Amino acid sequence: MNHLIDTNVLLSASVHIAKDGRDVAPSSTTEREAVFHWLDAFVTGNEFWVLDSKGRIEEEYNNKQTYQDFSIQALLDKQSRSQVFHTDVDYDPDGFAILPDRLASVAWDNSDKKFVAAGLYMVELGQAVQIVNASDTDWYDVAGTLKAENIGIVQVIDGWCRATYREQNGREPPP
């Protein structure tokens, strides 16, 4: 399996280890620990980390973390074992990934489009791919669209995300 890892996963896992007081959701140690364990298991496993060949995903990671953070070291570990796959993603002049016309009407978070575009590239290659999320509830709103495109979503702390979605939206998240 190939994984596109949302930045919130990396932040949550790194803050759990560093305990440095950065304001990162979730604030609960229990949920952060679950995210850390997921990332640690992924890094020591044989699955691939998917990035874009233009470096925008990694740039986002580095904007919010430093070389010393656990998750940046995790990425370096995957790279050293040749377990990173780089995809071709095109970007518009504003720096957001360009998606096919059939997905233009979907209410995407602009910063998430690069993960979707990289996922579509993997699907075109016949590769299974999942987007991994820890704390962004907006992935629930596009999960059905992504499933139709053969892109899975892993909600590392699904219970926490569902409760947060209910708080934010006053309703249950889509299935």
Q: What is the pLDDT of residues 159-173, one digit of tens each?
A: 999 999 999 999 999
- pLDDT tens track for 14-68: 765 545 555 566 777 888 889 999 999 999 999 999 999 999 999 999 988 888 8
- For residues 99 and 82, is the Cβ–Cβ distance under 8 A? no
The predicted pLDDT at position 143 comes to 94
36 in a structural domain = yes
- Mean pLDDT of all residues in 79-108: 94
Give the mean pLDDT of 65-84.
92
Per the domain annotation, does 101 fall within a domain? yes
Residue 175 in domain: no
In what helix (H) or strand (E) does residue 51 lie, and over which residues does it extend?
Answer: strand 48-52
Question: In the prediction, which pLDDT does 160 show?
Answer: 94
Q: Which domain holds residue 139?
A: 2-169
Predicted confidence (pLDDT) at residue 97 exceeds the cutoff of 70: yes
The answer to whether residue 66 sits within a structural domain is yes
Instruction: Tell me how far the alpha carbon of residue 114 is from its chain's centroid.
Output: 10
pTM: 0.92
Residue 34 lies inside a defined structural domain of this protein: yes
Average pLDDT of the chain?
A: 91
> Is pLDDT above 90 for 74?
yes
Residue 30 lies in a domain: yes
Answer whether residue 174 is part of any domain. Answer: no
Burial of 67 (0-12, 13-18, 19+ CB in 10 A): exposed
- The whole-number pLDDT of residue 21 equals 54
Domain count, the chain: 1
Report yes or no on 157 lying in a domain: yes
User: What is the radius of gyration, based on Cα positions, of the chain?
Assistant: 16
The confidence score (pLDDT) of residue 25 equals 65
Write down the pLDDT at residue 22.
Answer: 55
